[in-house]
Amino acid sequence: MGRVTTRVPRTRVDVARDALVVRPDTVAVEEPLEVRVGEQPVTTTMRTPGDDFDLALGHLLTEGMVGSAHDVATMMHCTDVGPDGSPTFNVVEAALSPGVALLRPARERTESMTSACGVCGAASLDAVRTASRFDVGADPVTLDATVLAGLPDALRERQPVFERTGGVHAAALATPDGTLLAVREDVGRHNAVDKVVGALSRERELPFAGTVLVVSARASFEIVQKAAVVGVPAVVAVGAPTSLAVELAADAGITLLAFTREHRFSVYARPDRVTGTA
């Protein structure tokens, strides 16, 4: 799987049996990726290498910096090299299409992004609340409860890197009937969302009306925000929600499900879209 995974030494300690087992283990790769528009850096994030162009394009879309995949003319890996002189492929440079300018500047941050955060270090909460161009609350989509409950299992079946390492998140965009349109994995939950948005944006224009964003992680603020910015009316999370995620989902009109596992879930915003319940 190339640079997506790597082998490292491991010593397993079994205290109950007073035993040590030494053998290699497969882990997910985590490396920095800098995204530039022209020669201007817009973000640096820790990610799993692979689908870097999807990640860069998805980030520009979910941050509201461009409005369409067509706004980006080309993307390329810069010829950056590591200490050993080998290319790292850790810088992606995007060139905007003729006549296109960024809709908004890169968000001001006070620290570098890690694989654990999407909006950490933002200068203020107001800067974090990127306004969506779409009226997500008016989306007329209806969602069957049985289909929603099965989405995490469908996502889990398409997580080969997680199967090998147990160390990555996944995100998918799905139709109301449960068809997964695109799936991506990454050590960062927000990166997985950016990758899947970037992938689907090559096939259809924003907004992604009538779709469902499925994430293997918790329902955090940045996940719901990304859904709102690209016009996704529903978010299904395997983990717990945060207070800001619930607040933003209610404000934006996004149907928010969390603790979606074992064919059960809890709805925290816009339950009126969910059908097939008692």
Binding residues: 259-264
117 is annotated as an active-site residue: yes
C-beta of residue 183 within 8 angstroms of C-beta of residue 196: yes
Catalytic residue among 57, 117, 206, 217: 117
Taking CA atoms, 84 is separated from 37, 87, 91, 118, 224, in Å, by: 27, 9, 17, 31, 40
Strands 31-37 and 91-96, how do they pair?
parallel
Across 210-225, b (16+ Cβ under 10 Å) vs e yields bbbbbbbbbbbbbbbb
DSSP letters spanning 187-250 = SSHHHHHHHHHHHHHTTSPSP-TT-EEEESS-B-HHHHHHHHHTT--EEEESS-B-HHHHHHHH
How does DSSP classify residue 67? Answer: S
Distance of CA 91 to the CA centre of its chain: 19
Active-site residue numbers?
117
